[in-house]
Amino acid sequence: MRIPATQWPRTVWRLIRLPLIPIVLYLALRPVLAALSERHGFGSPDGMSVGYLAVAATLMALRIVLLVIVPAYLSYRVVAYTVTRLLRRGDPQNQSETVDRSSDPITADNSNQ
């Protein structure tokens, strides 16, 4: 069964959403940390501010997510896709699968009642 063409953008967005959000956050917070580092970072006469420490901690967490979780997620998606394809290739009944929705009580047309 193929996904209709109208659902492709939603499907693609769902697949890339998890890796894309941390990457965008990291790229947005890096210049913020650089600006805060100039004013309130190491070697500042005022010492480190709470904002600098919060942004630095957030960036460290995002780095860990980008180095560990995102590759694990992408590996999982590739393995799941490959296994699904291999299992479908071995089952000839799945290749020409048709769904009879008339017997399904949820989607059946109840106009004859």
Planar angle of CA 75, 94, 13, nearest 5 degrees:
40
State the virtual CA torsion across 81, 64, 39, 44 in degrees, nearest 10: -170
**Assigned token pair, 36:** 């805060």
- Give CA–CA dist 26/67, Å, rounded: 12
The model's confidence at residue 59, banded by pLDDT at 50, 70 and 90, is very high
Strands (E), the chain: none
pLDDT of 55 above 80:
yes
pLDDT in tens, 18-53: 889 999 999 999 999 888 887 766 666 677 778 888
pLDDT of 100 above 70:
no
* Cβ atoms of residues 101 and 108 within 8 Å: yes
> For position 60, what pLDDT does the model report?
94
Average pLDDT of every residue of the chain? 78
